Structure 1
Amino acid sequence: MPIATESKSSESTQLAVEGIKGSIPDSQLSRLCPTAKNAPVEEMRRGLDEDGYLFVKNLIPRADVLNVRNHYFQNYENTGMLATHTTAEEGIFNSHADPDDHLGIGAGRLPDGDANVQRLVDSHSEPTYVEFLSHPALRQQIRALMGWEKEVLLKRTVLRHNNPGSLSTGVHYDKIFLRSGGAYCLTAWIPLGDISLHGGWLMYLSTGKELGKEIEADFDARSALFPESERINAYNSNMAEHGFLSNDAGAFLAEQGKGKGEWLVSEFEAGDVVFHDPYMVHGSTSNQDDKGRIRLSTDLRFAEEGSAFDQRWMQAWKPGDGL
């Protein structure tokens, strides 16, 4: 297990949250176990292998993370999405606006209007964000954790905002979208700002790594006769809408997980990073932040240089790219 900055508590009182579809009961919830950034790398590796995730506290300087948040929301200052008399860095949603008019990536559909979609596309090439992707604290941690001489960032990064009241990502594991190529791909999920316990964070299934492998093995058996292009497609006939396993995390645990395990949740601070295995089952909750803060985060995938990773991911995100 990771060396934690605080012990995992079995107490789940007051954790009950809203999923994408339906609420997730307290009985299914527990806490992510955080790890100090200066913990021995051997313990970090063991934690990632055994738990399927590694939640590193304060890995990246807070100011560097908030700088990215500030630049992102500056692009929305004249759109009506942000509350008046607040700053771009705060990223407070305008309570008089309709969340469906200001959708981010992963909300089930794209926002209406070419300008709104183009804003999402352009955010991935914004200089402050691009520079952040090579942050030395992040890259050094990845090389040490994985034992790689050099890492490759897959160019298809996902930078998304999640407004209060709007949908986010359903239950899935990343290998669903990375089936071409046999390389191990490590995901780094980075909250770009503080996220409260009800702020629409990422959650992990405690038994998710093994369950993800079981589901993938079943998929492989059922898709053995598929043509290659269909076998690697996350949206093929064996998958649910948008490639997800479910939009109801509570029902998924009761049915697919057979009630074994818990959904692991936490507050997050700017500077935290969660690394996870490609088979680790995870998903998002509905943003119900009581301050109206917009959740902003980025998903990054890394592979070892020279390995056979999925080449479809070497193009920047764009609408309709099929991934």
Structure 2
Amino acid sequence: MARVDSRPDTKLLPPNVRAIQGSIPQSMLGWLRETSSEAPIEEIRRRLFEDEYVFVKGLLPRDDVLKTREHYFSQFKSLGLQKPDTDPMDGIYNMAEDISLHNGIGGGGPIGTEELQRLVKAHVQQSYLDFVAHPKLREMVRIIMGWEEEILAKRTMLRHNIPGGQSTGVHYDKLFLRGGDAFFLTAWVPIGNVTATGGGLVYLEGSTNLGKAIEDDFKVCAKDFTLEEKVSAFNRNMSAAGVLSMDPMVFQQDHEHLAKQTKFRWLVADFEAGDVVFHLP
């Protein structure tokens, strides 16, 4: 019989999770629910639409993920980002470096730096494009959604974070894909092992309706915008970084009037190479 899930209910949560500004206390944290890649597809599909995400364990071959990780970090080897005499695949940060040199959002480094240029170029490397189009990943999307054929949107974001660096702000993916009303499914893929406090994605529990309410509010505020302004994540309704907030706790307080449920938990996980989280936009 296939294993459906493994709930880490007895596993202690971290004392807090730090963000760009502020932190999430343990009382507002929870664990993402794990689902085996061998679970019945009906169960995987049900969890996606009931939980608004499905955290699939071991979907991708671990070796494929680690090869991608090694290729990615090898592109930064000459920049002092990684600890000397270590394997690029390990991705060990060089603590002797000035953190401010690598402190951009998502660890990309300041605008105009060689590090940021290499991060941008990494998005078009053939080995990365092949990984994004991994048959296991695309097959699962088709099966979950019941699609005969899927279209891979040319919208991917590679990120690496450093100790003490800046995290990505609070957002939902529809913010960055406003050019139409078509449904899309996001796959978040950790390229290596990531602990709950190691910079992985954190999900706001049961927040799809809140995201829809915020988007509806944006549409009202943008009724006089040009088409270009409407589809921009950097319009005047947004923060300078194109996100909803830099502080997850302040974000919740600011949007309580739009949500029926106000006591959201932020969900974390100890991700492993091969895991994938699929989530609604």
Deviation per CA, 1:203-238, whole angstroms, max 9, x where unpaired?
Answer: 111121111011111111222222222122211111
SS in structure 2 of the partner of residue 14 of structure 1: coil
Letter in 1 for 2:26: D
Structure 2 gap ranges (5+): none
Measure, in 2, the Cα distance between the counterparts of 1:67 and 1:227.
Answer: 44
User: Aligned in 2, Cα 1:8/1:196: closer, same or farther, shift over 3 Å?
Assistant: closer
Q: Displacement, 1:251?
A: 2.1
Distance in 1, Cα, partners of 2:109 & 2:152: 25
Checking the alignment, whether the CA contact within 8 Å between 1:177 and 1:233 is kept in structure 2 is yes
In structure 2, the residue matched to 1:141 is 140
Tell me which moved more, 153-162 or 60-69: 153-162
Offset at residue 72 of structure 1 (A): 0.8
After TM superposition, the score normalised by the length of structure 1 is: 0.80
Q: Is the 8 A contact 2:105 2:168 kept in 1?
A: no
Amino acid across the alignment from 2:157: V
- Kindly state the Cα deviation for residue 100 of structure 1 after the two structures are TM-superposed: 2.5
Provide runs of 4+ in structure 1 moved above 6 Å.
Answer: none
Matches within 5 A, 1:1-323: 4-7=4-7, 9=9, 13-103=13-103, 106=106, 110-111=109-110, 113-257=112-256, 259-278=262-281
Change (3 A) 1:104 1:63: farther
Q: Give the AA of the match of 1:57.
A: K
Aligned Cα RMSD in Å?
A: 2.0
> What do the CA deviations read for 1:150-183 (whole angstroms, capped 9, x no partner)?
1111123111211111112100111111111111
Aligned-residue sequence identity (percent) comes to: 47
Q: Which ranges in structure 1 are unaligned for 5 or more consecutive residues?
A: 279-323
Deviation at 1:122, TM superposition (A): 1.7
State the 1:12 CA deviation.
5.6
CA displacement at 1:103 relative to structure 2: 4.7
Is the partner of 1:275 in helix, strand or coil? strand
CA distance in 2 between partners of 1:156 and 1:48 (Å): 21
Distance 1:151 1:63 in 2: 25
For the structure 1 residues 13 and 116, does the alpha-carbon distance in structure 2 shift closer, same or farther, using more than 3 Å as the test? closer
**C-alpha contact 1:105 1:161 (8 A) present in aligned 2:** no
Q: Check whether the contact 2:202–2:266 (CA below 8 A) recurs between aligned residues.
A: yes
Structure 2 contact 104–166 (Cα < 8 Å) conserved = no
User: Normalising by structure 2, what TM-score?
Assistant: 0.91
Equivalent residue pairs, number: 275
Does 13-22 or 203-212 show the bigger shift? 13-22
| Offset at residue 124 of structure 1 (A) | 1.3
User: What is the alpha-carbon distance in structure 2 between the residues aligned to residue 142 and residue 203 of structure 1?
Assistant: 21
More helix by share: 2
CA contact (8 A) 1:104 1:120 kept: no
Please tell me whether the aligned partners of residues 99 and 164 of structure 2 are also in contact (alpha carbons under 8 angstroms): yes
Report if aligned partners of 1:104, 1:161 keep a CA contact under 8 Å in 2: no
Per mean C-alpha deviation after superposition, the further-off stretch among 235-244 and 267-276 is 235-244
Residues 233 and 10 of structure 1: CA distance in aligned 2, closer, same or farther (over 3 Å): farther
For the 8 Å contact 1:83–1:93, the answer to whether it is kept is yes
Residues 222-276 of structure 1 deviation map (CA, whole Å, 9 limit, x = unaligned): 2222222212221111112212111101222244247422001111000000111
